[in-house]
Amino acid sequence: MIIAIVVAIAAGASIVIARNINSILAEKKGLLASTFFNYLTGFSLSVLFLLFSSESVTQTYHLLGTVPVWAYLGGLLGVAVVAISNLVTPKISAFYMSLIIFTGQLFTGIILDYFALGLLSIGKVIGGLLVVVGLIYNLYLDR
Amino acid sequence: MYKLLSAFIGVLITIMILLNGVLSQKLGNYASAMIIHLLGFISIILILIIKKIRISLSKDLPLYLYSGGLLGVFTILFNNISFNLLGASLTLALGLLGQSICSLILDHYGWLGMEVVQFRKEKLIGLTIIASGIIVMTLY
């Protein structure tokens, strides 16, 4: 249980550290070149992980056709996320960037739930508004 | 401007997680992670070719600057482990806690290219409001 909690926190920390490392590389080599290296190393390691996982590569190959084509577009969005993050990361504090991204995720999630599933989670709206209020308060302190 | 772009990143990430989620349900966590990286790798290569950008390795740069992509794969691994043991909302909330703590440390010490933003006690009020918002979201 404790290990699971530490791992979950480490997952969050790894996002921020990777973002910052990529943006330093982007300042030296360019936004797109840094994105290229991100995918070069990431793809290589993901192949290793797949080979050592319990998932079968041949089975994956046969399943590829069963996935709707639009589901593959996530990989392209990832490229946009890495490239834009390379641009933004050096410009604003790591903390505000993390929280603003989170707020964007939260409200997009709420809007998607509402229009796709007709669901409106009051808890998520109230919680999200509290996050925004706290964020604006701290941004105001930094002025 | 950069704050707006950050919010836009959040919009993209949500749609990306949704699409990647469909992929990992069909293919499994690690197969989908590989496919997602492969597609990203192919698209960035195409973009570089179209924009005629040449890639070179600089020997004078420290090696750890190339580790961002490796960390990204570990993010997926850690999220998978946590998701199986703790469920979705706790994984999300603890992940956000990890991001916040890590960001505050990088800002405070000016590590990994950040400008130094000293932590001030007054900010604890804002942090408490943010934390309560995350708790409300996780519980409902």
Element (H, E) at B70: helix B68-86
Give the residue-averaged pLDDT of B24-31: 90
- Domain tally for chain A? 2
Contact A40, B69 (CB under 8 A): yes
Which domain does A13 fall in, by range?
A: 1-91
B80: contact with A, CB 8 A cutoff: no
Give the residue-averaged pLDDT of B106-125: 89
A111: contact with B, CB 8 A cutoff: no
Predicted confidence at residue B118, as pLDDT, reads 83
pLDDT confidence band for B56 (50 / 70 / 90): confident
pLDDT confidence band for B91 (50 / 70 / 90): confident
Give the residue-averaged pLDDT of A91-118: 90
Q: A83 with A109, same domain?
A: no
Tens digits of residue pLDDT in A107-137: 898 898 888 888 888 888 898 899 889 888 8
Q: B79 with B26, same domain?
A: no
Choosing from A91, A111, A133, the residue where a domain stops is: A91
Predicted confidence at residue B40, as pLDDT, reads 96
pLDDT confidence band for B122 (50 / 70 / 90): confident
- What burial class does residue A66 get, using C-beta atoms within 10 Å of its C-beta: 0-12 exposed, 13-18 middle, 19+ buried? exposed
Contact A89, A19 (CB under 8 A): yes
How far is residue B79 CA from its own chain's centroid? 11
Query: Is A131 close to B133, i.e. CB distance below 8 A?
Result: yes
- What burial class does residue A101 get, using C-beta atoms within 10 Å of its C-beta: 0-12 exposed, 13-18 middle, 19+ buried? buried
pLDDT confidence band for B87 (50 / 70 / 90): confident
Q: A30 with A41, same domain?
A: yes
Q: B30 with B43, same domain?
A: yes
pLDDT over threshold 90, residue B138: no
Find residues 83-102 of chain B whose CB sits inside 8 Å of chain A.
85-86, 90-91, 94-102
Q: B36 with B70, same domain?
A: no
pLDDT over threshold 90, residue B93: no
B124: contact with A, CB 8 A cutoff: no
Q: A99 with A75, same domain?
A: no
Chain A residues within 8 A of B6 when measuring between CB atoms: 88, 92, 96-97, 100-101, 104
Q: B78 with B26, same domain?
A: no
Q: A103 with A60, same domain?
A: no
Element (H, E) at B37: helix B29-50
Instruction: Choose between B113 and A7: higher pLDDT.
Output: A7
Give the residue-averaged pLDDT of A27-42: 96
Chain B residues within 8 A of A107 when measuring between CB atoms: 10
Residue B28 — left, alpha, or beta (φ > 0 → left; ψ -120 to 50 → alpha)?
left
Q: B77 with B121, same domain?
A: yes
Question: At a CB cut-off of 8 Å and minimum separation 6, what does A54 contact?
Answer: none
Query: Is A78 close to B16, i.e. CB distance below 8 A?
Result: yes
Tokens of B8: 């836009």
Q: B51 with B102, same domain?
A: no
Geometric angle at alpha carbon A109, from B127 and A31, rounded to 5°:
80
Query: Is A75 close to B66, i.e. CB distance below 8 A?
Result: no
ipTM of the complex: 0.91
pLDDT over threshold 80, residue B140: no
Which domain does B45 fall in, by range?
A: 1-55
pLDDT confidence band for A142 (50 / 70 / 90): confident
Q: A78 with A108, same domain?
A: no
Q: B49 with B75, same domain?
A: no
Tell me what the pLDDT averaged over chain A comes to. Answer: 91
Query: Can you tell me the distance from the alpha carbon of B3 to that of A80, in angstroms, rounded to the nearest whole number?
Result: 16
- Domain tally for chain B? 2
Q: What is the dihedral of CA B74, B77, B83, B86, to 10 degrees?
A: -70
Query: Is B12 close to A98, i.e. CB distance below 8 A?
Result: no
Of B99, B125, B14, the closest CA to residue A95 belongs to B99
Q: B69 with B137, same domain?
A: yes
Q: B63 with B131, same domain?
A: yes
